[in-house]
A and B are shown apart, each in its own frame.
Chain A
């Protein structure tokens, strides 16, 4: 142990700053790089949304320092808010940061299988983000065609759209490299005794997520290549014949199909929803088991549900396209698959609820966020059902109802889970805990103001208010009864911003000033990330010696064991025959 200490100390001096913090191949450093970059993008995407909400609550009133929002700016902010939050915020934080940091620790691996590929994947992500941010400064600004970039509009959009496509190519490349790395790591680098069904649920969630990223992203890359060709080589993959714009007839050969984009896009983007949700479920499962001091109820059932969910997510994509005039048979197929895919999500959520039953729950800050996730994700899921059935989807399509539903899944759903993950693994990463009081203020403020933003959206949507309206529906008389909600929602959004301040203060202050953890296994957890590594773990190598796994992931309160919990690397008591053998040998 002493040796190791001096070795790592020595290394810290030998390796320069850039190599240690920027071009590092250590999965822990890369995870933190991902985490900080993603948190920055989340904040930036959130600020774009705040500017939009200002406009929606008080159309045309000037924003201090920025002036009144123009419709073009509003469209830019809308398209980029979606892109930034999904591709540059949540996925990098859920997969890039937590996946990278925690998965190797939990399976007892010394690093990811391909450390240099891991570094490359972060740098692709970073430069993809830079291209996206730079697109705000090109003539006529960033992409304005929505985060879905539907053609024909996207095909004839300004230069920002081309930047968006290049940025996406980089982000997709990053995700693909990451996915290959995760799959190889989980399949190849599990330590001795870590069978698939002894893997913590979080690792399973990352495993299925990586499959989704690996197989769903390439069709979007194909679509991106075709759209780039449309924009740069003047082809017309997505442009039908005889298209007329405000500047007159388009001079292209035509013969393409805008629907082709929608198919390719949603073939990615539906699995992408599960990419956003599954890691969140994984984080919540870890924290729920740890803080109820009970094994997860139905661990195997949850894993099977996860696998089924991953498979089904590839055959539901056209439920985003019910209003494109598809035939009844096809529509029926996708409605059925969509109803079926809700079952495994419900199974996982129910299993987590049942886990709470009879547990002696510790209401720590991460547990509060994890508990917040459960009902919020439930609302998100249930409000999705009407959108999965064509008769109810047709009137609700492209209204604020869709926005409300989706945000319930990812904002009070996934983002709460990600906060839970930050509070849970922060001590592992820094060796210091975050402040509990600030954490609790953060939790209650966040969950209340998030509901204040998103619940009225469901009401507005059912009243028929369309999404992407620059004036929030002012121009339409039917939206008048629900227009007043806009002010309330915007005030809630501002409150949400204010309640992030305790988090930001807490985060930065705790890095240096937080209370030091008293022991390596700060949460009394059973998984290897807490039980087998020092806190924080050894740089490059994680473990002082590679752990061996003897038992299932969540052996809390095992009857008759005489201890509160048995970590995965706790060796079973030697059997009597072994003792005799030892005595004989002695």
Chain B
């Protein structure tokens, strides 16, 4: 008999979680530190900046162009709505599995993927219009941090789409061909993917006001 790794599906009694769930929380902790480092860099650069959008110059008391005049707040708001909606459909896809409703899962997971793609399309338009006006990361330090932060976030969205698409397509074999144990395993996978997805959503909730509004 080959010895099996325990707690892959069922939670351990004294810790209350299964391996994958603990793993994803630890991963998210490291992600907090990654984005935390970049947010700290944003604050550091802004505090030491000679010029920043919306900043009043010391001698002439003129205000520089505000961030919401440089970047498109309506598009970002639209994207915020899209991402929050995708978080909701993500939960619904997991809840459907919990209620043994595979069709519901397919529908809601499909919607999550489509919404995420929609987010990237809107983002692409935003970037495109910046490049069209010859506004690049190298233009100034504010735009540099804008492009790096939103770009890294977009990479995270892309990663989420790939994972979710796998679970929507080939990954469903585990549910379709599996016994009750495999089904529980698949449901756990969706929950873990969901935790990641909510985190990506949450990062945007911080990014949006910080870059576009304040």
Residues of A within 8 A of B (CB): 3, 7, 109-111, 113-115, 117, 176, 179-181, 183-184, 187-189, 214-219, 221-223, 225-226, 229, 233-237, 241, 252-257, 260, 263-264, 267, 540-543, 546
Contact = CB atoms under 8 A, between A and B. Distances in A.
B75 interface: no
17 contacts: A109-B5, A117-B23, A176-B27, A179-B30, A214-B33, A218-B33, A219-B36, A226-B148, A235-B141, A235-B147, A236-B144, A237-B45, A237-B144, A255-B141, A257-B44, A541-B3, A546-B3
Given A188-B22, A257-B45, A233 B137 contact: yes
A540 B2 contact: yes
B147 A214 contact: no
A260 B23 contact: no
Contacts of A214: 26, 29-30, 33
Among B15, B17, B30: residue with most chain A CB under 10 A? B30
B144 A229 contact: yes
Contacts of A187: 15, 22
A208 to B, nearest CB: 14
A326 B27 CA distance: 34
Given A113-B5, A540-B2, A184 B19 contact: yes
A226 B22 CA distance: 30
Contact of A260 (B6, B36, B44): B44
A338 to B, nearest CB: 21
B119 to A, nearest CB: 21
Contact of A222 (B38, B136, B141, B144): B38
A253 B30 contact: no
Contacts of A218: 30-31, 33-34, 36-37
A229 B137 contact: yes
Contacts of B3: 110, 541-543, 546
A395 to B, nearest CB: 28
B141 A237 contact: yes
Contact of B141 (A7, A219, A253): A253
Contacts of B34: 218-219, 221-222
Contact of B138 (A3, A109, A221, A252): A252
A241 B50 contact: yes
Chief secondary structure at chain B's binding surface? helix
A180 B140 contact: no
Nearest to A175: B30
Given A187-B15, A226-B38, A235-B141, 17 more contacts: A110-B3, A111-B5, A181-B23, A188-B15, A189-B6, A215-B33, A218-B36, A218-B37, A221-B34, A226-B148, A233-B136, A235-B137, A237-B45, A255-B50, A255-B51, A267-B37, A541-B2
Which 10 residue pairs spanning A and B have beta carbons closest together?
Answer: A222-B37, A219-B37, A235-B144, A218-B34, A218-B33, A234-B138, A541-B3, A255-B141, A110-B3, A233-B137
B45 A114 contact: no
Contacts of B45: 237, 255-257, 260
A235 B141 CA distance: 7
Contact of A233 (B12, B27, B138): B138
Interface string B173-210: 00000000000000000000000000000000000000
A95 to B, nearest CB: 15
B48 interface: yes
Interface in B4-40: 4-7, 12, 15, 17-19, 22-23, 26-27, 29-31, 33-38, 40
A173 to B, nearest CB: 10
A226 B30 contact: no
B81 interface: no
Contacts of B145: 237
Contact of B140 (A111, A188, A222, A255): A255
